[in-house]
Amino acid sequence: MTIVLIAFFLLLLVGTPIGIVLGIAGLVGIMQLGGEKFLAMAPARFFAGLDLFPFLAMPFFILAGEIMNKSGITNRLVGLSNVLVGWLRGGMAHSNMVASVFFAGITGAATADSAAFGNTLVPAMVKQGYSKPFACAVTAAGSIIGPTIPPSTLMVIYGSIMGVSIAGLFAAGIIPGLLICFVCMALIAIFGKKWELPKSGHRPSIREIVVAIRESLVALVMPIIVLGGIMGGLTTPTEAAAIAVLYALLVGSLVYRSLTIEDLLQMLIRTSLITGVIFLIIASASIVGWWMTFEQIPQAIANSFLDVSENPYVIITMILALLLVIGLFMDINATLIILSPVLGPLLVSIGMEPVHAGVMIILALNISLMTPPVGACLFVLSSVTGAKIEEISKSLWPFLLVEIAVLFLIAYWADLTLFLPRLFGFS
């Protein structure tokens, strides 16, 4: 085990991509267990980690998001958000949060949210008088709404590897995602004067609101189609994702007429690259997971938690602390795949429902997307806007604290998380 850990951290320190790090660490562990005989089984485990039908939903959702972004949907959603809340103090910060909710139903990816709004909203906020670090912090705080509100690639991964209803996870993610938006907007409203946030123009008229909704209606229909199909039992997540791609193509080519063949080819290439990276991490992590099972590491981790306390709330607190700390240094996809088979059964054993456990784990890892030193959203925003990660982090900490508070709220209050899954019969 020691050799595997040394190999893992050494490779991380020299900047090796996480998918390759996991693969090499897994191979080292397998060699340690049984030499060449076990090593010959590695390719089978590598591809078996990807042999799950729901995984097909991920490239479809990613492609749908790419198409909708290219079609100019982002600007329309931002326009709607500005009309709804832009007149408040810190209006553009509020708009950023509301737009993140709308955007979540299209991409389901925090980095996509960060990149899109880093190119559009951050410059607009700076022009209106916001500091660049604060504008980036608001964008980072809102970006984790994307993988919390469905569709979410993390929920697809968790549901697939743990045998938990993906539709149930989708339903359970809605309220936590909206709560994050609400508490961040409340924070902006409470400290707006203290932070000297700009106050925008007049309240919009009913006509202006109607016009903004009409212009954004086509984009807002997409999440309804996806979620309605899944929760209504009409489609599987994979089928819903394919329908989302078809809908996005029709909107982009026939309604907005902003897509070309060249654009489509570029989007297919980007989708392939993103999907390839995610699938490499999943496949490599499956080898590590196989090695951990042989070494009985999951049982050891579970027993170590139970040795400290058998109180469910204490165990939940320790698990959340573990996830938040590991998230500081590890890719969230890798962490999810490696730790879910360990922590999921442990949480179920103390009485937590599988859907509730999944959402709690996913939200904890989502928060790590905006925590240094390896928060993916921070790196994206830094590269897109030119702001320093250290400066963004200084402005981000109040949002980070309230989002962690939401995490503990949904962890301890099961009925809040499970209200919608129970309403739709998924829990």
Residues 6+ apart with CB under 8 A from 148: 104, 173, 176, 177, 180, 362, 363, 366
Output phi, psi for 199, to 5 deg.
-115, 125
User: Six-digit token pair at 19?
Assistant: 């998918």
Q: Which carries the bigger pLDDT value, residue 171 or residue 253?
A: 171
- Cβ(99)–Cβ(58) below 8 Å: no
- What tokens does 418 get? 């499970």
Percent of the chain with pLDDT over 90: 18
The pLDDT of residue 30 is above 90: no
Residue 298 has pLDDT above 80, yes or no: no
Q: Which among 163-167, 230-234, 296-300 has the top mean pLDDT?
A: 163-167
Question: Where are the extended beta strands (E) located within 47-163?
Answer: none
Give the integer Cα–Cα distance in Å for 44 and 46: 5
pLDDT tens, 182-223?
999 999 988 887 877 877 667 777 887 888 888 778 777 877
- Tell me if 253 sits within 8 A of 218, measured CB to CB: no
Task: Express each pLDDT in 343-359 by its tens digit.
Answer: 999 999 999 999 999 99
The confidence band for 121, taking pLDDT boundaries of 50, 70 and 90, is confident
Residue type, 301: I
Cα–Cα distance, 322 to 387 (Å, whole number): 29
Which residue in 153, 148, 149, 150 sits closest to 55, CA to CA?
Answer: 153
- For 237-265, the pLDDT digits (tens) are 888 888 888 888 888 888 777 778 888 89
